Amino acid sequence: MSINIAILGYGTVASGLPIMINQQKKQMTQFVGEEIKISKVLVRQKNTFNENAAEQFGFTLVDNIDSIVNDPTIQIVVELMGRIDPAKSYLMKILRAKKHLVTANKDLIALHGQELEKCAKENNVGLYYEAAVAGGIPILRTLASAYASDHITKLLGILNGTSNFMLTKMFEENWSYDQALSKAQELGYAESDPTNDVEGIDAAYKLAILCQFAFGMRIPFNEISHQGIPSITKEDVSVARQLGYVIKLVGHIEEGNNGLEAEVVPTFISVKHPLASVDDVMNAIFIESDGIGNAMYYGAGAGQMPTATSVLSDIMTIAKQVHNHLPVDHFNRLDQTIVSGIESQTEVKKQYYFAFETPDLSGQFMKIASWFKVEGISFEQILQEKGTNQLARVVIITHEMSKKQVEQLKKHINENEDIQLLNVFNVIEA
């Protein structure tokens, strides 16, 4: 006897699955209770690579989703095609055919997860997607189990390996943004159009999924603001180093009085904070909660083996329940299906980094300082440096302030022609 699975797609991650299943067969069979067998793989077209694999591992290549949907021997389907179309329509068919589903498709889950989960529940099948967020980090199952009696107040995540690799190079090697991007593209970390990675869109997808597991709330994806890394200059990096920070692209969800605030934004992180040591393509999620307190989960964000291992954990969890004729648990057992927008008036307060460029004249700093004073915001650190062309650079690390206060400040600044606001980033102390 065996539990038969089908895979949709045979790219990098998918092709790691039969290798791992072969290598860990004994351990997996002991866990599940019977063998897991890849029975069919859906490919757009056959080629030497997937035909050789089919022969070596004994599965059948198919090019029509219906030959999987209508196969009563297949109990679990693994979707590794990516993108929304045709993945979404395939997955709906599979769920309606009462087959359990495992996917690593974060775009699809972030945008259409609710519809898919509803369909899974109606058909009494499992829908698992641990690998959709931070590939090698078992963060979703951890949130759904270890935090089941806890109350999370803040979640900070370095969720995009490509941008983190670039920022690490900009920091450690003093590279410009463009140099870092070229290297990331050369190494295959960044696509020719890097928008999703560098603008924080990929991280925002992951943040939307994390929000459901950590706070039991669904945030519409378009309500998560995202600010990318292209505006980060060598001067920002140099200031960060001088003041004892690194710069990371951070996904940030925090509970305020009236709801959640969620954003992806370049962030100055104190070198003493555990997130500061998360370098290169690694990911990490830092969580603050009433019970567990501060915790961090660190690991690979992507890659063949880490992602395949996450996918296999989901398959095994489902397979074990199938083997024992038990109802399959919902993946997100904390889902309160509260459909909640983000409150614009949350009183979440954060520290900020402001970088200004001003004519190098006396009185300019006083002018800047006065805008902050009007809003009642005090400073933690100030740095003024001579720039080029008679310009000076003024950097301010503020004490805590609200988003509303930041908007007020920007108004003052915009009313003034000779002082330019170069960048506003978040700040996290240790």
Footprint on this chain of a second copy (rule: CB under 8 A): 20-21, 23-24, 27-28, 30-31, 130, 136-138, 141-142, 145-151, 216, 272-274, 276-279, 282, 289-300, 303, 305-306, 308-310, 312-313, 316-317, 324, 326-327, 333-334, 336
3-class DSSP assignment, residue 6: strand
Minimum CB separation of residue 418 from a second copy in Å reads 42
Q: Are 136 and 235 in contact (CB under 8 A)?
A: no
The tokens for 141 are: 């199952």
Nearer Cβ to a second copy (152/181): 152
Q: Are 131 and 108 in contact (CB under 8 A)?
A: no
d(CA 190, CA 193): 8
Nearer Cβ to a second copy (137/180): 137
Minimum CB separation of residue 282 from a second copy in Å reads 8
Q: Are 279 and 269 in contact (CB under 8 A)?
A: no
Rounded to 10°, the helix 304-323/25-32 angle is 40
Nearest 5°: the CA angle 244, 246, 248 is 155
Nearer Cβ to a second copy (137/232): 137
Minimum CB separation of residue 293 from a second copy in Å reads 5
Residue count of the chain, please give it. Answer: 430
**191 labelled ligand-binding:** yes
99 has catalytic annotation: no
Nearer Cβ to a second copy (200/259): 259
d(CA 378, CA 401): 9
The tokens for 417 are: 């022609």
**40 labelled ligand-binding:** no
Minimum CB separation of residue 168 from a second copy in Å reads 11
Q: Are 167 and 232 in contact (CB under 8 A)?
A: yes
d(CA 138, CA 152): 17
Q: Which of 88, 93, 169, 206 is catalytic?
A: 206
Q: Which residues are catalytic?
A: 206
Q: Which residues are annotated as a binding site for NADPH?
A: 106
Q: Which residues are annotated as a binding site for L-homoserine?
A: 191
